[in-house]
Each structure stands twice: as structure tokens, then as C-alpha cells.
Chains A and B, each alone.
Chain A
Amino acid sequence: MIVTITLNGKKITEDVAPDLPLLDFVRNHGCKSAKRGCDSANCGLCTVFCDDKPILSCSFLAVRADGRKITTLEGLQKEAAEFGAFIADQGAEQCGFCNPGMIMNAIALFRENPDPSDEEIKAYLAGNLCRCSGYEGQMRGIKAFIAHRKAKEVNDATGQ
């Protein structure tokens, strides 16, 4: 089936198989940040945005993305780099395999809820598994990032 998908701002028109997962579609187009970490819709490594909502691209057909806007980490470089530095600062990455999916979902969280409580962070990121057990470090990194953003907002407002 011929579909037109806007991937990271670029319109792609292509003939895709009806059972091709969106994950394979984005990877075929060079967006290798999205990964397949499980076969049970549980790990969150394949997280991308479909019309700005985070979804599991392993479980979504590329044909269903026809006419929609898909964003991967490659399309969010600036936001991802700024936040990712706080995660790295906490040594919260060991193998780093879970990192792109977690960053995508954390960005979705900050857009929906700029000042989340610890419980809200845990609830939102519950579907992002890390097999190296980086959750404590991730939490510290996320909180440091939020504190940094708040301080920056205050500084911007007071002109410092």
C-alpha cells in the first residue's frame, strides 16, 4: 500500500507491506535510535511520537501512520541532547540501550506535565524498562534537569 508519512519533518511516500511495523519503517529510513528490545510490547525501547503522542512503534503498523507525523529521537536532537546530558551526569547509562526510548518518553512527559512529582515521573516512565537497573540514576537525572529548567526560567524572568 502506498503511504505518505512525515518522518522528522520530511515527507516520505512509499509502498509498504500491510504488516510492516512502524519500527522497521523508521529504522529502514535511518532512524536507528528506535530499537526492538522485546517481543511482548513491554520494554518501551521502540517509543516514537505519532502526531506528538508517544507510542510503541513495534506494535503499530506503518500503513496506519499514513498521513501522520512521526517523530523519532533523530528529530529531537536539541531537546534530547540537553536532557540526555543530565542522565549521563548521573552515570545512569550503563549499556545505554534503553536510553533513546526513555528520553523520548521523558520528553513526552515534560511536554504534558512540565513540573511532575516523583510519583508522576514513575507512573509516566513505568513502561520504559532498563535491564541494567538505572532507575535511581534516571530519577536523579530527571529531577536535576527539572531543577535546572526551573532555575533557568527564574533567571530569564529576572533578566540575569
Chain B
Amino acid sequence: MLTIRKYVKAADLEEAWQLNQKKRNVILGGMLWLRMCNRSIDTAIDLSALGLDKIEESETEFSIGCMCTLRDIELHEGLYAYSGAVRAAVKDIVGVQMRNLATVGGSLYGRYGFSDPLTAFLGLESEVELYKGGRIPLKEYLHMPYDNDILVRVIVKKQDLQCAFECVRNARTDFSVLNVAVTHAGGRHFAVVGARPMKAFLVEDEQNLLAEPTDENKRAFAEYVAETVPTGSNLRGSAAYRRHLARVLTLRALDRIGGQD
């Protein structure tokens, strides 16, 4: 059970950060993950009065506040026009009522192994803005220890990029058995593989196998991804099955960014 002694709606980020330095205090996102934990919280810190529930689109980037919900990023037309990867990653997470609560901040701060949006945002070469730590690439944040900073926003820079997301679930709204994002940006290709079931892993096309995206080269890259990415077994699937999925989903994603549906 989760107990909370005190609830504070922070007036600014500094207040939220100060409060968050205490071990028994905690930032609230949508609280879906938090409430599953057996934990007694001293002060629950709410960021919902800070205007961080907006997606701002400029000529150069999308700036997504940490309190935006998964439903907000699913429905945002500008983001969808830029890439369908985010919508594809969140649309089957539990249900609309749940996605109206779960936040982008909580999802990325958690850096959960099973995460679908984490894979998609990595595919989009996103950055996160931390209150004290400043702007850093999400792929760096992925490996940072869980600290007491606040994830303020996620930034998706607009660039010449194509990214497709694929996943396999045993049942429509279950966690992914495996998820893959494949990106083509500035002549480079890379794949992100999540729910392995460990957290997302990046595989660059270092040998430039996709310099010419022929069917044969696509198969070679998919094979390379499957060989390179470490996979594990759990209730949802075995390591071998996940390796197989890594190859198939990489191929499908490659076909999608190549304009084949």
C-alpha cells in the first residue's frame, strides 16, 4: 500500500526540487506506477500547477512538458505529422482512461525496461531537460543513476528524420514482449530495442549496411541487430523468441520508413 503524509502543490520548480532532496519525499507524475509500490511517502510533490502540461511546437523543435499525459502525445497532430512513432508506441498502453493520467515525465524518469515511449523517444534522438542538470541527450539519461533532479521537459528536435516503431504484445493492452524503433537520420541508421525485457538498447549501423537500402541489406541489418542486442527471458517470452522478434520487427520498421506499409 502507498501512504502519503502530506501533499504539496509546488509553486515553482525550485520549491519542488528542494522538497525532492529528502529521501522520503517524492514527485508525483500520473501516479500509476507509484501507487503499485509498497511505500510510505512523507511529502508528495505535485508539479501540476507549473504549466508543464503543454506541448509547444516551434520551427525547430517540440518541447513536451513533463506533466503532459500519454494521451496528449498520442493525439498531438504536429508531433504525429513529424513522426508516427510516438503515437504507435503509446496507443495500446492499457486504455484511454489510464493514458489520460500517465505522464511523459514519470515514463521517462522511470527508464523502465518495458517502456514503449522510451524506445520511441530514443528513436527520435530526443533530449531531456533536467532542472539542475540542464539539457542532455535521452540516450545519456538512459544510463544515469536515479537521482533527485526533476525532469522538466522532453525535447524532440525537428530534423530530416524518419522513425518507425513496432512492438509485439501477447494481448492488446499487455506490456510489449519486445519493441523496436528504427531511425534513418542524416544518412545514418540505428535501431532501438526495448522490453528485451531490460531497458532499451541502441544498435548503430556502424558498418553502413544500409548505405543502399536493398532487401538484402535490410535483412543483413536486421540480422546484425538480432545478433547484437542482449535479450532475456521472463513470463512474456524467452530470450530466443525475443531475438527472433528483434530481427522481424527491425525488418518491418525498415520497410515502414522506406515507405512500404
The reply on B6 being an interface residue by CB < 8 A is yes
Is A59 within 8 A of B35, CB to CB? yes
Q: Of the candidates A64, A124, A127, which one forms a contact with B94 in the assembled complex, judged by CB atoms under 8 Å apart? A: A127
CB-CB nearest in chain B for A40: B36
Q: Does B11 contact A (CB under 8 A)?
A: no
Question: How far is A125 from B91 in the complex, measured between Cα atoms in Å?
Answer: 12
Most chain A Cβ neighbours within 10 Å, of B2, B48, B97: B97
Interface size on A, residues (CB 8 A): 26
Chain A contacts for B7, CB-based, 8 A: 1, 18, 61, 63
Comparing A48-56, A74-82, A145-153, the segment that makes contact with chain B is: A48-56
A157 within 8 A of B: no
- A18: nearest chain-B partner, CB-CB: B7
B77-105: contact bitstring with A at CB < 8 Å (1 yes, 0 no)? 00000000000000110111110110000
**A19 touches B (CB below 8 Å):** yes
> How many residues on B have C-beta within 8 angstroms of the other chain's C-beta atoms?
26
By beta carbon, the residue of chain A nearest B43 is A18
Contact A56 B36 (CB under 8 A): no
- Identify which of B44, B96, B98 contacts A41 (C-beta below 8 A): B98
Tell me how far the C-beta of A35 lies from the nearest C-beta in chain B, rounded to whole angstroms.
14
Decide: B31 and A61 in contact? CB cutoff 8 A.
Answer: yes
A139 within 8 A of B: no
**Complex interface residues of chain B between 2 and 24 (CB less than 8 A to chain A):** 2-7
Chain B residues closer than 8 Å to A95, beta-carbon distance: none
Contact B46 A127 (CB under 8 A): no
Chain A 124-160 near chain B by CB (<8 Å), digits 1 or 0? 1111100000000000000000000000000000000
Smallest CB separation, B35 vs chain A (Å): 6
Identify 14 residue pairs between A and B in the complex whose beta-carbon atoms are under 8 Å apart, listed by A's number. A41-B36, A44-B97, A47-B97, A55-B100, A56-B32, A56-B101, A59-B32, A61-B4, A61-B28, A61-B44, A105-B97, A126-B92, A127-B95, A127-B98
- Enumerate chain A interface residues (CB-CB to B < 8 A): 1, 18-19, 40-42, 44, 47, 50, 53-56, 59-61, 63-64, 105, 108, 123-128
What 7 new A-B contacts, CB under 8 Å, besides A54-B100, A64-B48, A126-B172? A1-B7, A19-B3, A19-B4, A41-B32, A50-B100, A61-B4, A126-B94
